[in-house]
Structure 1
């Protein structure tokens, strides 16, 4: 296990909060693959860049409730608020399972559910 995988994810998340997409992408492998379970799969850094330009045009707000590391994996559980497909701010519960390779985020399996009752303080 890379000793700093949790720290790498925390730094990457800080970049997202600050709207720094390229700063976030610096922590990803060139062949990173993101699977949004039940929705879509993004393959490669450029596909993720294009996704972020739309989905994170306005930086999301999120709370990481638990960060669990085991081997090459880090799992983040929490809540996120971002604009939905209609452009309205929506709250979601998420579980992100990251696989690291050589100190980079190489794979994401994201389970994201729109949360009707879960609200994030604004």
Structure 2
């Protein structure tokens, strides 16, 4: 599989709630940077993040997937449900760097979409 296909397969696992399946595509020393928020170091940190954040599988729509060399950029929307059952909508841009067919690094730009922005789209 090429890097774009790897990311598509990994994302399909997430939508099914198969987080371990997703993590199998990540390098053990993966680094995830959520710009302006936090950086996760290693697969175990990502596993803990997913357990805390993905109370149920996220619903996301990839609008553009752009591959170049070791990088794949995904633009889209994601909806996450919190512990109270409220859904928050976000726009995101994920820039993935691949190493040896594994997702080695993520730089994620995630912005909450307000209700007025949702009704305009």
Normalising to structure 1: TM-score of the pair? 0.91
Deviation of 1:87 after TM superposition, in Å, equals 5.2
Q: CA RMSD in A?
A: 1.5
Could you tell me whether the CA contact under 8 Å between 1:65 and 1:77 is conserved in 2?
A: yes
Gapped regions of structure 1 (runs ≥ 5): none
Gapped regions of structure 2 (runs ≥ 5): none
- 1:37 and 1:85 map into 2 onto residues whose CA distance is 23
Deviation of 1:83 after TM superposition, in Å, equals 2.3
- Does residue 67 (structure 1) correspond to residue 60 (structure 2)? The answer is no
Could you tell me whether the CA contact under 8 Å between 2:61 and 2:76 is conserved in 1?
A: yes
1:15-60 CA-partner distances (Å, limit 9, x unpaired): 0000001000000000000000000000000000000001112100
Structure 2 match to 1:98: 96
Structure showing the higher helix proportion among its residues: 2
- 2:62 and 2:54 map into 1 onto residues whose CA distance is 17
1:46-103 CA-partner distances (Å, limit 9, x unpaired): 0000000011121000000000001100000000000258652100000000000000
- 1:41 and 1:64 map into 2 onto residues whose CA distance is 23
- Label 1:88 to 1:112 Cα distance change in 2 as closer, same or farther (>3 A): same
Pairing of 1:31-50 with structure 2 (within 5 A): 31-50=29-48
- The alignment partner of 2:36 has SS state of coil
Number of aligned residue pairs: 117
- 2:89 and 2:96 map into 1 onto residues whose CA distance is 21
